[in-house]
Amino acid sequence: MATVNPSSGVSRLRVAVPAVATRVASELRLQIAEGALLPGAKLKEEALSEELGVSRNTVREAFAELASERLVVRQPNRGVFVASLEVSDIHDVYAVRRAIEVSAVRGGGSAESIAAVRAAVEEGKRAAAAGDSEGLGSANAHFHGALVAMAGSERLNVIMSQVLAEMRLFFHKASIDGGFYQDYLADNDQICSALEAGDNDLAAERLLSYLARSEEHQAAVHTS
């Protein structure tokens, strides 16, 4: 029967059928990530309830989950809307990235965790070679996720994944030109090299430089 995690284990083996509310949240999360639900769009409880074949209460629980991830915002008595990031949010999100990513890089990582970073770099190169703009963005997200993963902290990983989800949010608002990530491939490679060489401070410095340029770019795109 495989009884597992007697203590505070959220993850149990089982067949792991996610609760309905969780699945609804995942579905909405996916649609937001894909751009099927654009920032600012209103999510009506009743409509979603019918469309997804679940009760209003369940939709409501899913909303709570997404709201905690900042993917939607709740306006009391008005409804929930797909989060729409403003210019000020850009700076805020990058503040979080600076804190978390730089800290992880400064702390270095195990050989395997650095290998994961390298893998993300290669993934990006392949996508670039194939002209896969979509895959390039995905690889970039993987790269920065891998950086944070070096720290081996579950909480930091969760925070980072939420931040990356938020980033995708304003990528849709002003759809990014194809060569957006192209410029940053070399940066990623150099950061990774510094890590492999054990020079964490250099890696951190390069990362900070990258983040500054990236933020500037985003700000420029979103003030036009």
Q: Which residues bind DNA (CB under 7 A)?
A: 14, 17, 19-21, 42-46, 53-58, 60-61, 74, 76-80
Nearer to DNA, 12 or 91 (CB): 12
Q: Which stretch binds a copy of itself (CB under 8 A): 46-54, 108-116, 155-163, 211-219?
A: 155-163
Nearer to a copy of itself, 76 or 131 (CB): 76
Nearest-approach distance from CB 112 to DNA, in angstroms? 33
Sheet hosting strand 42-43, strand order edge to edge: 42-43, 79-82, 72-75
Q: Positive or negative CA dihedral for 110, 111, 117, 119? A: negative
Q: Positive or negative CA dihedral for 76, 82, 87, 89? A: positive
**155 class by beta-carbon count within 10 Å (0-12 exposed, 13-18 middle, 19+ buried):** exposed
Residue 121 interacting entry, from a copy of itself, DNA, none, C-beta within 5 to 8 Å by type: none
Nearest-approach distance from CB 6 to DNA, in angstroms? 10
Nearest-approach distance from CB 53 to DNA, in angstroms? 6
> Around Cβ 8, how many Cβ atoms within 10 Å?
5
Number of residues binding to a copy of itself, judged by CB under 8 A: 41
Nearest-approach distance from CB 75 to a copy of itself, in angstroms? 7
Q: Positive or negative CA dihedral for 17, 12, 139, 81? A: positive
Tell me the chain's radius of gyration from C-alpha atoms. Answer: 19
Q: Which of 35, 41, 74, 219 contacts a copy of itself by CB under 8 A?
A: 74
Task: Characterize 73-87 residue by residue with b for buried, 16 or more Cβ atoms within 10 angstroms of its Cβ, and e for exposed.
Answer: eeeeeeebbbbebee
Place of tokens 């195990």: 110
CA atoms within 13 A of residue 224's CA, in its CB half-sphere: 10
Residue 25 interacting entry, from a copy of itself, DNA, none, C-beta within 5 to 8 Å by type: none
Q: Which of 26, 31, 81, 135 contacts a copy of itself by CB under 8 A?
A: 81
Q: Which of 103, 133, 190, 200 contacts a copy of itself by CB under 8 A?
A: 103
Q: How far apart are CA 182 and CA 160, in angstroms?
A: 22
Which residues in this chain contact a copy of itself in the complex, by CB under 8 A? Answer: 7-10, 12, 19, 57, 60-61, 64-65, 68-70, 73-76, 81, 83-84, 86, 91-93, 95-96, 98-100, 102-104, 107, 151-156, 159
